[in-house]
Amino acid sequence: MDRQLSADGIGFALADAVVNNIKYGHHITEAGLVRNADH
């Protein structure tokens, strides 16, 4: 039971990481490009 709960928790954590990367990765890159353009 504990093993299954741990596996589910890891699965949700990985899913969240992927979603966050898709959502925010592009914005972070844009911010970096703007910052580079300022310099």
CA distance 7 to 15: 12
Q: Per residue in 21-35, pLDDT tens?
A: 777 666 666 666 666
Q: What is the pLDDT of residue 32?
A: 67
The number of residues in the chain equals 39
Q: Does pTM surpass 0.85? A: no
Amino acid (one-letter) located at 19: V
> Which is more confident, 13 or 24?
13
Instruction: Tokens for 27, please give them.
Output: 């914005």
> Which is more confident, 22 or 16?
16
- H helices then E strands: how many in the chain? 1, 0
